[in-house]
Amino acid sequence: MDIKFEKRAELKQKPDEKNLGFGKYYTDHMFMMDYDEGQGWHDACIVPYGPIPMEPTCVTLHYAQETFEGMKAYRTAEGKIQLFRPEMNARRMINSNARLCMPAFPEDMFIEAVKAIVKVDADWVPSEPETSLYIRPFMFATEGALGAHASSSYKFVIVLSPSGAYYKEGVNPVRILIEDELVRAVKGGTGFAKCGGNYASSLLAQKKAAEQGCAQVLWLDGVERKYVEEVGTMNVMFKIAGEIYTAAIDGSVLPGVTRDSIIHILRDWGYTVNEGKLSVDDLMKAGHDGTLEEAFGTGTAAVISPIGEFLYKDDSVRINDFKTGELTQKLYDYLTGIQWGREEDKYNWTTTIDA
Ligand code: COI
């Protein structure tokens, strides 16, 4: 790919790495590339981070033809910068785009673009403990038209955000409301795709959860409101009587990169991982009879988020005395150990960027 580079005239002041929060600061530059029907992808460039002009009738603004990804660049103790399984994000975006009638952005170009923009803004990869450079590739329709149809033009963009913990609680247990009315996804819908619309439609439930003192919601399936699917914006796993349970990837659940990695590690450690249906009644029963030993969300932004309590209708269960479970902590330490280069990368999951 031939990438044109326009350097920012005056580089920005970098934020205090000890107080980054999540997704609040953006680096000096961004990657952009355009797509036009009949021409394909063209004009790759790295330009100063800034506003992107668009038509008021842009298809994205009216019909939400948009997809995105979330990944991170990590600074190791030796000062190296590494990515974690970037090909998984590239492939997931291709699948998301297919569902939204958007063109594929080829895997090799995706990885090349991510590496190129991270290399340009390499000084922004933080080195404080638990910090990383969050990478947000996204694609959106750019055609101006009010008829509901697939756009004939698109923009692929990558912005970067030096970040700390996703939740203000950090890696500490949170309270979760089990949502029995609103749903996130149904099979045949867009639940498996990473598209903005899924997140917009989840906000009301999140607001409801916050009003009840909960950090997030646990989503049930959209047909029977019976089987557990995801937690907030993450996949979710439960340790019940020594075995792990998580929803299968069968249409309504996002195929998480962290989910896949944790399942690999757990199976390697000898755990039985059941990918399938777990009913909310069985979950609450396990909570009451003491066999629900641990529960946690998995996602790129938060990595692993322990769950300390579930509220469901007028019932509630506390897990492990609202303390982070032993296995949850071990998984967090091991996975982040690989990501930050503290653990041997025996699965070959990391890719170094020469910056
Ligand atoms: C991620 O975990 O990377 C996500 O995309 C979730 C997002 C809401 C920050």
**Residue 168 pLDDT > 80, yes or no?**
no
HEC readout, 53-91: CCCCCEHHHHHCCEEECCEEEEECCCCCEEEECHHHHHH
Q: How far is the CA of 70 from the centre of ligand 1 (A)?
A: 6
For the range 210-213, what are the long-range contacts, defined as Cβ-Cβ under 8 Å and sequence gap of 24 or more? 212/177, 212/311, 213/175
What is the separation of C-alpha 279 from the centre of its chain, rounded to a whole number of angstroms?
A: 25
What local confidence, expressed as pLDDT, does residue 166 receive? 82
- Residue 253 CA to residue 185 CA, distance in Å, equals 8
Task: Answer whether residue 170 shows pLDDT above 70.
Answer: no
- Determine whether the shortest distance from the Cβ of 132 to ligand 1 is under 6 A: no
Query: How far is the C-alpha of 217 from the C-alpha of 226, rounded, in Å?
Result: 14
71 lines ligand 1 (CB under 6 A): no
Of the candidates 328, 275, 333, 258, the one whose C-alpha atom is nearest the C-alpha of residue 69 is 258
Complete domains list, the chain, with CATH: 4-163 (3.30.470.10), 174-339 (3.20.10.10)
191 lines ligand 1 (CB under 6 A): no
Averaged pLDDT, 16-41: 97
How far, in Å, is the centroid of ligand 1 from the Cα of 253?
A: 14
Does 88 contact ligand 1 (Cβ within 6 A)? no
CB-ligand 1 contact for 301 (6 Å cutoff):
yes
The number of the ligand 1 atom at minimal distance from the alpha carbon of 199 is 8
CB count in 10 Å sphere of residue 87:
15
Is the pLDDT at 133 greater than 90? The verdict is: yes
Instruction: Tell me if 304 CB under 6 Å of ligand 1.
Output: no
User: Is 70 close to ligand 1, i.e. is its CB under 6 Å away?
Assistant: yes
User: Is the confidence at residue 167, as pLDDT, over 80?
Assistant: no
Residue 169, pLDDT score = 64
How many C-beta neighbours within 10 Å does residue 4 have? Answer: 10
In the numeric block, which tokens belong to residue 240? 């019940």
Residue 134 Cα to ligand 1 middle (Å): 10
* 8 Å CB contact between 121 and 135: no
Calculate how far, in angstroms, residue 109's C-alpha sits from the geometric centre of ligand 1.
22
Q: Please, which pLDDT band fits residue 25 given cuts at 50, 70 and 90?
A: very high
